[in-house]
Structure 1
Amino acid sequence: MKKLWNFVSNEDDPFGPGVDLIVSLLAILLVMLVITAGAYQNINTKNQELASSLKSSRNRVEQLNNLLDAEKEKNSKLYKRLRAETAARIPQFPPNIVITAAQGYDFPSGSAELTDALNGYIRNTLVPNIEENIQKFDVDTVVIIGHTDGQPVAEPFSNLDGLVEEVATGNESVGKLKEGSNVDLGLMRALAVVRKLQDIQKSEGKLRSLDPLKGFRAYSAGPLILRNGEFAQPNENPDQERRRIEIRFTKSGEK
């Protein structure tokens, strides 16, 4: 220890090598402090920049979220408007009308002749319903579909080919037709209802918005479709629910 003190504090040379060493150490320490302070300043500056950048990013995210919410609201309104416009353009049709034998409106077996009960129903109930649906739903075509049960026809001979067109245009009566199958019979019964509607239109001035020919369509499903819409299985037993006239409404594509 004494030697170290003598080295640092030399009486002959008060500014000896010991003092130089201390000065050097102090200089090194000062440099390190300066470097450390500079590094700290740089870190502090970086932190401030990062904090500012983070704040800016948060503000940007908030702005984007606000824009996204605005776009969602805009798209929601646009979707609702387009949906409403699309719904307005999609044709709306009234429910089908079904006339069944079980209701008391039956055709004679194997015949397309309209009974008094069926004639009365067509004039007093069906025609007003058709007129109401035409006005309410803006339809211009009435589709009449004849359905039968699975009972075999008495005579499997048909004269519909070549004659059904004359009946459909009013040049021949439905009574001239001879069915050779239940499909024929269903069509004949549908034609009988169509002809009755056309007669009422002509003689009583009703159903005037319908074209006398193109406004009515007669089709047959024969025994194929059940009341619930499913395909029927082979069954030759009488069935009043299957024997029916179905009325549908549609709109032609003509302007």
Structure 2
Amino acid sequence: MTPDFAAALRNVVITRLLDIADSFDVDVIEVIGHTDEQPVANHASNLDRYLSSVTLAGTDAAVLQWSDNAGLGLARALAVVKVLASDARLAAFRTLPLSGAQLIDTDGRLTRWEGGDVRERRRIEIRMRKSN
């Protein structure tokens, strides 16, 4: 994550999330990492080994390595969750990382599998909802 993106999360996005929470009765923040259909280069994943320490023990999300787009989407989402969860203003919220992988296109529908390196599809989506 770039320093500029982390700063935007802290200075712009969190403020917007709090505004939304004031308008709606929500207490869950879902962060969804999306990818394009570009295959991930072959390398071993360490997600099974490090997800717990990144999530619970303060290990930096930069240690995560993925072997597919689903893992890449999850690693991206978790990096954002760590920034959001570190802000005391969001302490009352449950913040969850999710992966949309390459399955969901920018229009919110399942991808048409047209493939390739598509920058717009590599994104983070943040949703808010009420817990069950």
TM-score (norm 2): 0.90
The one of 132, 135, 157 equivalent to 2:22 is 135
Following superposition, the deviation at residue 191 of structure 1 comes to 0.2
Describe the SS at the equivalent of 1:144: strand
Q: What is the SS of the residue equivalent to 1:165?
A: helix
Shift of 1:230: 1.8
How many angstroms does 1:119 deviate by? 1.4
Q: 1:245 — aligned with what? A: 124
Matched residue of 2:89: which SS? coil
Structure 1: 4+ residue segments shifted above 4 A: none
1:27-106 map, 5 Å: none
* CA displacement at 1:235 relative to structure 2: 4.0
Are positions 1:125 and 2:12 aligned together?
A: yes
Decide which of 36, 42, 65 is 1:155's aligned counterpart: 42
- Cα displacement string for residues 95-149 of structure 1 (whole angstroms, at most 9, x for unaligned residues): xxxxxxxxxxxxxxxxxxx113311221121000111111221211100000001
Task: Give yes or no for the alignment of 1:183 onto 2:92.
Answer: no
Structure 2: where are the runs of 5+ without partners?
none
Q: In the comparison of the two structures, how many residue pairs are matched?
A: 132
Q: C-alpha separation between the residues in 2 aligned to 1:117 and 1:247?
A: 18
Question: Of 103, 107, 122, which aligns to 1:224?
Answer: 103
* Match runs of 1:183-202 below 5 Å: 183-199=70-86, 201=87
SS in 2 for 1:238: coil
Q: Which amino acid aligns with 2:92?
A: S
Are the aligned partners of 2:32 and 2:73 in contact in 1 as well (CA < 8 Å)? yes
Secondary structure in 2 matching 1:161: helix
Percent identity reads 36
Aligned-partner Cα distance in 1 for 2:95–2:89: 14
Larger radius of gyration: 1
Q: Which of the pair is proportionally richer in strand?
A: 2
C-alpha change, 1:117 and 1:157, in structure 2 (3 Å) is same
Letter in 2 for 1:150: E
Contact preservation (8 Å) 1:158, 1:178: yes
One-letter code of the match for 2:29? V
Does structure 1 residue 145 correspond to structure 2 residue 32?
Answer: yes
- Higher helix content, 1 or 2: 1
